[in-house]
């Protein structure tokens, strides 16, 4: 009589490996979005710095830091 547990485990492992087989994300749209964020940030006098997140989405992974910025009017 075949043992179903190892068969199920093998099928689950194969499915997990197939999900990872797509490779790294494409550089096109992400690179373009990062360049647009960089340009917009520099236009406001800021610099992009890592936010600490690692989502693969530049808008969440980078923040625009503006030195000497204040919410209070001068």
51 part of a folded domain = yes
34 part of a folded domain = yes
Six-digit token pair at 40?
A: 């917009």
40 part of a folded domain = yes
Residues 6+ positions from 39 with CB-CB distance below 8 Å: none
Q: Structural domain tally of the chain?
A: 1
74 part of a folded domain = no
pLDDT band at 10 (very low <50, low <70, confident <90, very high): low
pLDDT band at 5 (very low <50, low <70, confident <90, very high): low
22 part of a folded domain = yes
73 part of a folded domain = no
Instruction: Note down the domain range covering 36.
Output: 4-65
Instruction: Work out the number of other CB atoms within 10 angstroms of the CB of residue 23.
Output: 6
Q: What pLDDT sits at residue 41?
A: 93
Give ∠ CA 63-51-60 in degrees, rounded to 5: 65
pLDDT digits (tens, 9 = 90+) for 16-47: 555 555 555 555 667 889 999 999 999 999 99
Distance CA 37, CA 11 (A): 43
């Amino acid at each position: 009589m075949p043992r179903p547990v190892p068969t199920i485990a093998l099928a689950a492992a194969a499915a997990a490996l197939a999900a990872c087989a797509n490779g790294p994300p494409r550089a096109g749209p992400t690179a373009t979005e990062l360049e647009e964020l960089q340009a917009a940030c520099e236009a406001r006098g800021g610099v992009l710095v890592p936010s600490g997140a690692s989502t693969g989405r530049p808008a969440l992974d980078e923040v625009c830091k503006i030195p000497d910025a204040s919410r209070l009017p001068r």
